[in-house]
Structure 1
């Protein structure tokens, strides 16, 4: 018979063992925390000086308790991110809308007056500019590479508190969110990084310090439901805002979502790529409804050019504001068909 050594409870639960196990656990926790902390700290050091505080004055028409109309000056604040060395700043449209005066405060305390270069309420994006030397510039990333669960870091100025940092994860991608103009912004990023009034216009970033979104909205009655306009949408809008002050876009009237198709479908239909836009709904009276586009259709082409994402479809539409007949390539119930459609220019 095999003999086993006798262990007392003192041997098993000795102080040395408890201390060793506790120390090992603490060391592991510290290593995990250090990796997370170092990522956030690194982003803050890299990007925080490119994030600005925007103070806005605007005139608002009001009515007194005696039903007399009068005008009062209202102040507000938001955030923005410098994206060129010569002082161009990306922010939200609703931050600077109808502003009579805009003042930008840099992270180092310098103050400058700013001018509105361009404004696009439909994407809730705007570009303003200051003239200042020695500016720190943020790097714009690729929002198409964003994955659910990855680290997300936000920097902004909630309630005027300068350079406030929050972090969380990407909660969802491909959301649709209605802008203040009433238009649906597609492919919106959802995050649980805490945002508050004043964060609007600030950057949402990866652990590498690349801007993947512009924080735009929160749901006040909920916790952890915050949204950012994807930076690839901004990349489409920015050149038009800097060139002419507004973004002209054609309108077909769909709510869509980016989808990835299987290799079998790509090969069978001889597609250029595995990306497309799934039609979630069509608006009543819209060009899409008139053309017969249906819920569940997948748009894979526009005028014989590939459509791999909503941003790519928007880019094609932005070049198609002359209301001429165009053709969508659509996958419908295992068939590839072409649908004629006449986009109309979106006006306010």
Structure 2
């Protein structure tokens, strides 16, 4: 592959046809900043615009999980009117402890009316979370995409204008902001998104509808490892992106909640609230927090948003894929491509000895499977990191070591 060409990235290979028992990736709606128009003074006139729409779309041990989280009460309490269950006490404790680490992200974007050729200012509102005490914020890419200016509002009402947009993940719906010259902010605590259990309780916090700051909803994890095709309008005509390995939850995720935390009952963030199903209720999706850890550590260390990559294309093994390709195992990522080479020539995987039709079953001891694919596991690391790969080749298990490269967009 020529040096100036976009490298082959750790991505799912697109099958020419879907197996009959595989319904395909559902289309979902990204829940972007809740947006509204504000008139601008132009050429001596006030350009009025009515209606509302969706707009555009010191480090604290963030990788290892930080503090132990919220202390959970184990006994029921009765106030004379209402019996509060332990789970309810936990949700209340999580909301109280974590809310100071959740911020509102306000955006402003200049637009031109299609009908009157007049300028107006479109304002938006989303959610973010404080990930370091010195002002780094993580949110969704579609919350700040195209914005001319970004403002962050803390839970105590303090506003920070003209927040710096550091950049966004080229392959995922994640962006990073920075409030300049601050210290002592309450950073959120990270959990482990690889050990989630179906049915476990979760809490979502966000700037619902762009009006109700730090709204709290709760639910359960309904599924993991979900692939979706996401767009801002939920149709085939909208600009879409493919998102994989998402957490599915029935906790309500509303417009304006994008970029907010999905939390376990220890008050640890396990996901970034991102999207809801376009034609169903109680189906929301969050990006697993593990998929952001490498980027986050790197941006705090260097100030640059740079993603690690391995340089392979693959299909995640399901029962249908196992049958179609006559594979001997039921989990892992099968290295193959119908669009040319499945291994980037001269890339990290090639240098490590990965070959077409290999099956990667573990990265640094973490299993590749329903919860996390190769791409998600690699994204926990920074460019230049070395990872051990467990690979099946011709029925035999081999160990390979790869030095991760830097993705070039």
What TM-score, normalized by structure 2, do the two folds share? Answer: 0.61
Cα distance in 2 for partners of 1:257, 1:83 equals: 34
Asked if structure 2 preserves the Cα contact closer than 8 Å seen for 1:186 and 1:257, the reply is no
Cα distance in 1 for partners of 2:157, 2:342 equals: 50
2:333 is the alignment partner of 1:278: yes
Equivalences for residues 35-54 of structure 1 within 5 A: 35-54=86-105
2:300 is the alignment partner of 1:245: no
Residue range with higher mean Cα deviation, 84-93 or 326-335? 326-335
* Compared CA separation, residues 286 and 84, structure 1 to 2 (3 A): farther
Partner of 1:111: 159
Asked if structure 2 preserves the Cα contact closer than 8 Å seen for 1:252 and 1:344, the reply is no
Alpha-carbon shift at residue 35 of structure 1 (Å): 1.1
2:215 is the alignment partner of 1:194: no
Cα distance in 1 for partners of 2:341, 2:399 equals: 15
Asked if structure 2 preserves the Cα contact closer than 8 Å seen for 1:253 and 1:286, the reply is no
Partner of 2:392: 331
2:300 is the alignment partner of 1:300: no
1:190-243 Cα shifts (integer Å, max 9, x gaps): 111010111100000001100001111112211121111111111111123332
1:227-285 Cα shifts (integer Å, max 9, x gaps): 11111111111123332432234342235379xxxxxxxxxxxxxxxx97334x85532
* Compared CA separation, residues 316 and 49, structure 1 to 2 (3 A): closer
Cα distance in 2 for partners of 1:315, 1:164 equals: 29
2:141 is the alignment partner of 1:141: no
* Compared CA separation, residues 257 and 37, structure 1 to 2 (3 A): farther
Partner of 2:377: 312
Which stretches in structure 1 are left out of the alignment for 5+ residues? 1-25, 259-274, 321-325
- Number of matched pairs: 291
Alpha carbon RMSD of aligned pairs, Å?
3.7
Partner of 2:172: 123
Alpha-carbon shift at residue 141 of structure 1 (Å): 1.0
**Partner SS for 2:282:** coil
Asked if structure 1 preserves the Cα contact closer than 8 Å seen for 2:230 and 2:240, the reply is yes
Cα distance in 1 for partners of 2:260, 2:381 equals: 28
Which structure has more relative contact order (CA 8 Å, sep 6+)? It is: 2
Bigger share in helix: 1
Asked if structure 2 preserves the Cα contact closer than 8 Å seen for 1:112 and 1:132, the reply is no
Alpha-carbon shift at residue 54 of structure 1 (Å): 0.6
* Compared CA separation, residues 103 and 47, structure 1 to 2 (3 A): same
